[in-house]
Structure 1
Amino acid sequence: MTSTITIGDAVASLMREGMPVRFEAYDGSSAGPTDADITLRLLDQRGLAYLLTAPGDLGMARAYVSGDLRLDGVHPGDPYEAMTLLQNNLRFRAPSVGEAVSLLRGLGLANLKPPPPPPQEHLPRWRRVVEGVRHSLTRDAGVISHHYDVSNAFYRHVLGPSMAYTCAVYPEPDATLEQAQTEKFDLVCRKLGLEPGMRLLDLGCGWGGMVRHAAQHYGVRALGVTLSREQAAYARDAVAADGLTDLVEVRHSDYREVSETGFDAVSSIGLTEHVGVKNYPSYFGFVRDHLRDGGRLLNHCINRPDNVPRETGAFIDRYVFPDGELTGSGTIISRAQDAGLEVVHEENLRRHYALTLRDWCANLVEHWDACVEEVGEATARVWGLYMAGSRLGFERNEIQLHQVLAVRTGADGDDGFPLRPSW
């Protein structure tokens, strides 16, 4: 059946205040200002089917990642400007049932058959049961591999020499990304009160940045664990290159498999997002049981600005952090306290994460061709979209980053801290 409604007409009819960008479709139709700096191009019927069969961010993501929806006027490695413009000015209106049916018929009912999702997309939550119960050892290993075993070369292009895939701490507004990542690791060390000879356990050690910094600058003996095989291999090589093999061990392992106890300090930088809120009691219980009396925990993770339970958005869950869960800092603090840890300090670094994401996007743009060659254009597009969108979320206080410092206080009430912070 020939379409009786153009795609441009359909889009325009759903906008309450008009299109903030130019829209052009493969049927020759268009909407929005002709002199717009940014143009949204729908290139083919598959893209339309993605938009119609998965309304919201998932359908847009599928069309964009697959290359069926294109943004002209911004670099795919950093679509921040376009996302800001769209979020500020794109206002949809809800059509009546009759109007919606007419639009769908006019666009062609054949477009309501969902195309196969792009290969970069992970299974929906309800189908992940084939990988085990949510946050089981097996399923966690699978979803961590999906995100982190992309390519060490790709991550180096995006993250820079520090290979630190967590929020940096900018000592000055004009600090470089590397300076800020060094300051982040050093801040964690200072908060933990590390001294030569102490034993540090780093949960979710990534590419080894924290354990290497702590050993090299504070003389501690460090054990790092990660579920990513690629990360573990990289970290071991980096430890050897730094001449730290007598002080640092990196294991490809789930943190729950660490049997040693009596650590002076535990750092957890970017792990809690993967633990699962229902598992916080056992997670913080594990930390408490692995610390000596007076031993400290620094928990660094992404948070929501409130403590209302809700699922992660479809795009993030399918393309970026499968099974990832966020909650507010209040929940983090409560669960740590309930596990027997004394919380002594916390701070919100959300604006620092916006700056970190800005710099990661700049790296992706600078090394775009090499990144595409390494992982393919679709995966590179996922990362540009994810990082630019996350930057916007941190800037607008839709997500936060909190560091929570806690201690296993001894039976005599001695927490080992000075009267005022020393870091």
Structure 2
Amino acid sequence: MNPTACRICRQLLNRYTDLATGEWAWRHPAAAGRPDHDPQPVPADTVAAEYRCDFCSDPKVIYVHRTRNVDAHFIADDHHQVHRYGTNWAACITCSMLVEARDAEGLTSRAQTAIGANLTGDARHALRQLQATIVDSLQAGRTLTAVGQWQPTPVAATLLPRVRDRLSALLRGPDQIDLLPAELRQAVAQGLDGARLYWVDPEFTGLTRHATSALPETPFQSTDLPAPHGLLAWALPLATLAAVSWTSTTDGLLAVGYRAVGAGLQGPDLQRLREHVGWLVPTWCRQIPDGSLVAPTNPARPLSATLLLVAQQLAQTSHAPVDDRIRKAYRRQCREEPEVRLVQIRGSRGTPCSDGNGGQPTGDGVSREYRWWVRGHWRRQPYGPGRSQHRLIYINPQLRGPQDKPIKATTTVRVIGHRHG
């Protein structure tokens, strides 16, 4: 049965069935307290449901465990009610460790804390029986999932080699991975092993964000790639997207998007997460044939926009510092020292942006009495033999018009950042 959530609060709902009458109803989970509305069930994927750990209600879900079908029966004199839990159990990193250890008592204690009630006697015994049933019926394996609620955070440039190595090990590990087909994991892991590492600074990230929103449907060209395999992280997440890797194949490009995990965790919980998962979790995977169009709905658009900007030579790259501990670890393993390339906006050449006509009439025969802003946009530039081919180039936001004229007032606010010289 597909997960069902409440349309109002987006929390996943529990289903209860009265076996005597055959009637069933949806209820909010006990950890939700007492909501001020009745459940309004809808498919979970239609309301961006807020998944929580099924054991302690922590929103930072990281794994899904599978069991045999688990039902809880409540029997009274006049009715027999059953709560059908199903087979899938979402878990935070700590509860996942308790499940793997078959620690029913530890799960019971965390559940009791989440409920916030001082459960004693029959109530705690029933809760303990439920947790024992779960661990006793546990099936082998677990699935890494991206449904947890994690605050978007960037990956530090100094840690990028370690992030890459941990991600490669994760893809080769025993855990199943939600949204990444098993048959592609080996190819992605091999691409990461030889990936060139890029970290995009805040200014270039801002440029990428605007260029992505304005990017028309455009064909992907493998010639735009700065390296056959790469891992690129942005200084500021693009929505939930923190990084993208690409792997060149005979059919084109295999791109995987990642979100960052770990924000909000501390101490042993954070350490467990780094050891078992790392810093990044896959959220989508796309195979992009060479020459195919990157549609507006394709999640790989930020990567496509970034690579087009780099190919257009709007970017300059330099070496970013790498954590000394990572460098020493690479030396101990007899590996080449890692390199992280910092992607920045190319420095200004000192030529002011204008229409270049020195105040003379423009192409439409009109002499302008003011300067005006032109929004950043993409333009198809002809090139090649007889200028018969076209490629997209990005035109930065700029001032047009005679340099000695005032700027035309608008209601648009523009933030102008420092440009690296």
Alignment TM-score, normalising by the size of structure 2: 0.26
**Higher helix proportion, which one?**
1
> Rg larger in 1 or in 2?
2
- Give the number of the structure with larger relative contact order, counting CA–CA contacts within 8 Å between residues 6 or more apart: 1
* Structure with a larger share of its residues in strand: 2
